[in-house]
Structure 1
């Protein structure tokens, strides 16, 4: 047995447990500061509000109430108010947890002796799409809750929290890990040549199930619509942009794509889907006949929109919109990532490189798919 790999996993688990104990101890010793004003206000409270399809959740004296109207979202000095979505504090916190989680996943991949093959990235793309559509099932559930005053909910609180960000990342990870373990068993018992092939099929099956659930909702619930122009435009434009950029880089700046190969195309496509979905939802929803006006939930996107509005005159913004710089930023970041992940880096740290590529594709494709799917069913 390779004890170095085992020790790395144990060290990660020990660190995670120590962090949870510190957070739990702080919540017990200073609940008003650590739990109410930090954990609940920035992390769990937004999940609770989202799970009730509310404008806010207010915690006071250990009791929590949710409100569906913005005018009711006022809190006294002793109460803590949380709104669905993200803040700078929560995004920094999730970034730190995400980096730590990546180290844990890296330890697990080393323990399983997988993750150096770039085909692993492509094999997980269906699972990333599944995550976005699974999150949209919760959005559809919220629409049903609002329309029926909670009587027709598909999934009730607190179970629906497993489908809300960031908890859904854990849910999808567990589903993916189960598939990886099973597919590895198939490979190592000579049932398949490579575990990546059944893993891609496993992800595709999960994706198909989520699509069937959403299609059922479209058929049986009047508050859920269907606007096929959204996925056609989103996937069509994103694919054209990603393929075009990858082809141009491969032809005229090949050093950028040499280290990642087709995995680099997945990186570009994931970021393009997220960027195009934001542009369509933010600037062209009414032009496409969508019944909902979408606003960005991430601070970074809101900042880019605010800067665009400040730079360009109002009459220009009315024509070109404010969300398109987000697409340009996403694509620029993707190109920089491909440039950094050169042949030398991928050869020296193949497993770490593949894991980072997976994470980069996921943070684009997951939210982008969700934004696209929400607009597709008009919620």
Structure 2
């Protein structure tokens, strides 16, 4: 019975690319929270500062994760190894790549080999992203095609909706702390996710589907994927408000990690979905 449960809700969805269920969604959310806490404790134990520069240094790794996920979408990896490039296993893959680099970069700074370990860590993430983008470009040119207009349309939608939401929160609600670049990055990441989902399901010629439970239910209910935008509003606005209350209590380290996790769950799938649609995979 336990074996069947594990296969039904965890192994088979990963193996066959099935949509998420309520069970695995809640499980992965819980795992994410536990991982944030464990990473926080590990960073503190190793006296690694968790600040704004730390978050900035990790953003390229988030972009790298989103691009690397598309490698599996191309079908280029035909062996069983392709499952480690699927969600949620790819999060552990990126973690397994990033943590040794972070540790080595930190040692390099302590030994005076580099001025800032965060810059070295950041540029490593940028280099890996460029390599992955190079592969995807090669694949698009030789095996599929690259539709830059699709990418431009999605980025335009994300930019416009980010501007509108920022204006609403900053001037409509009077939340002056929205001038913080990290909050703006949070909004853009989730607007990119909503834009890619909306475009892919309602406007793209390839029949993409929404795999997440809540989003899929709302799309079925309303008949349009553009319902993702109000859904994001319902999550982002109270989320930002609670985050700011938490920051004012002085818990800056864990605040940065939670904010980074929120950026990641919007930006990474947004990049992945956009790149899929550009390549038609």
TM-score (structure 1 length as normaliser): 0.69
Larger radius of gyration: 1
Q: Which secondary structure state, in structure 2, belongs to the residue aligned with residue 348 of structure 1?
A: coil
Q: 2:222 aligns with which of 291, 305, 308?
A: 308
Partners in 2 of 1:121 and 1:331 — Cα distance?
23
Report 1:182-331 matches (<5 A): 182-221=104-143, 224-246=144-166, 249-251=169-171, 253-255=173-175, 257=177, 261-286=180-205, 292-309=206-223, 322-331=224-233
Aligned-residue Cα RMSD (Å) equals 2.1
Shift of 1:230: 1.8
> Which sits farther off after the overlay, 128-137 or 190-199?
190-199
Whose relative contact order is higher, 1 or 2, with alpha carbons under 8 Å and at least 6 apart? 2
Partner of 1:170: 92
Conserved? CA contact 1:249–1:257, under 8 Å: no
Q: 2:52 aligns with which of 74, 94, 118?
A: 118
Q: Could you list the per-position Cα deviations for residues 319-361 of structure 1 after superposition, in whole angstroms to 9, with x for gaps in the alignment?
A: xxx1112122213422222211226625511111001001101
Q: 1:128 aligns with which of 42, 55, 62?
A: 62
Q: Which secondary structure state, in structure 2, belongs to the residue aligned with residue 285 of structure 1?
A: coil
Gaps of 5+ in 1: 1-32, 51-83, 142-153, 287-291, 310-321
Q: Could you list the per-position Cα deviations for residues 228-261 of structure 1 after superposition, in whole angstroms to 9, with x for gaps in the alignment?
A: 1121122232133324433554455454626x82
Shift of 1:218: 1.4
Q: Could you list the per-position Cα deviations for residues 196-234 of structure 1 after superposition, in whole angstroms to 9, with x for gaps in the alignment?
A: 32222111111111111111111222xx22111121122
Conserved? CA contact 1:268–1:335, under 8 Å: no
Q: 1:239 to 1:158 in 2, by over 3 A?
A: same
2:26 matches 1:43 = no
Q: 1:239 to 1:195 in 2, by over 3 A?
A: farther
2:2 matches 1:34 = yes
Partners in 1 of 2:217 and 2:251 — Cα distance?
35
Q: Which secondary structure state, in structure 2, belongs to the residue aligned with residue 257 of structure 1?
A: helix
Number of aligned residue pairs: give it: 281
Partner of 1:157: 79
Q: 2:37 aligns with which of 103, 111, 115?
A: 103
TM-score (structure 2 length as normaliser): 0.91
